[in-house]
Amino acid sequence: MACLVLVGAGPADATIQTPGDILQAGARQGVTNGYPGAIGMVRHDDTARYVQAGVGDRSTNTPADPKARFRIGSNTKAFTAAVLLQLEGEQRLSLDDNVARWLPGAVDANGYDGARITIRQLLNHTSGLPEYADTLQVSGPYVVNLDPRQTWAPQTLVDIALSRRAPNSAPGEKFAYANTNYVLAGMVIKAVTGTDAATQIRQRIIEPLDLHDTDFPTADPALYGNHLHGYLHPLVGFLTFDVTVSNVQVYAGAGAMVSTLDDLATFTRALLTGRLLAPAQLAELKTTVPVNSSGTVTYGLGIQHLQLPCGQWAWGHNGAVLGYFSNWLTSDDGSKQVTQANNEHHMAGNTRGQLDTAKAASDAFCAL
């Protein structure tokens, strides 16, 4: 699950000068707003500054570590899109192939027709498919977190989405964010290669880029090594639940991955500068569709293009899963980067913490 990167809310502090100071103040404000901990990094070329506030483990009061692993949620989508773009570059598929070519019958219910939806429309969220993740059938067990090992077959998630409503727009007509698109994208990867999206992402991206702290769990709901504990605050300040161990099958190719600030920055720089993609596929990655009427937010293939309040443009995305919220911003040439994460998410968007920390990330990026 994810919402758009939010920027431009809240007052500015005229006394803050450096990008690192700006992001540090945002991390502190996030903790004031109720996050157990917040971490971040600003990087210009190869010079980085790390920031932190609060704790990464409430039971031990261990300070939040900017090097710690966390669940990246919908930031997974850029990895999934990159694999499909690579497969196109290898002429094993075309993004203009219809879904039914690779997944016969997978999108064939309630008025939906996989023969009318392309892989490209999955990746830029113009397929017109409904969301499955906010249904009571899925969100109830996931948020309550009583069975982190509950099995969710990808086709089951797609079927839940299709059952919600008949189509309300034609494929390609408009942007409508839905995790269903990327569950199907992961299914296409398996149909083309014979192995799942997790395997392809490890072989094609994680290993070549030496992303030692990045993984794509497919069954094990636990986190290992140095990691932030994730928390759920249904009522901030009153109830707290440790949800570090949570279901990874609910989001699959749409949001199951684990990473760090450093690895996420390394990946997004490599993605945007052509290290992972041939020129034709890099151009496709960055071909966007409008998200809002003002034109300040557009969506490419697994990534957003954002005009920040200072007027600069950045590529970015965010990820929101149980217990964790993260986002990143990277310039087109990869030289300027901001990544940040916190360890509380109760599956609600536009919270005060999200607004304040997103503004800090935007301001820090503009100051680089």
Query: Can 259 be counted among the known catalytic residues?
Result: no
Tokens of 24: 């540090």
Q: What length is written for the chain?
A: 368
Whether 227 and 244 have beta carbons less than 8 Å apart is answered as yes
In the sheet with 297-299, reading across from the earlier edge strand, the strands are 62-63, 47-57, 37-44, 336-342, 324-330, 313-321, 304-307, 297-299, 289-290
Phi-psi group of 59: left, alpha or beta (phi > 0 → left; psi -120 to 50 → alpha; rest → beta): alpha
297 beta partners: 306
Cβ atoms < 10 Å from Cβ of 187: 24
Q: How far apart are CA 76 and CA 80, in angstroms?
A: 7
Whether 214 and 258 have beta carbons less than 8 Å apart is answered as yes
Task: Pick the catalytic residue from 59, 74, 163, 335.
Answer: 74
Q: Which amino acids are annotated catalytic? A: 74
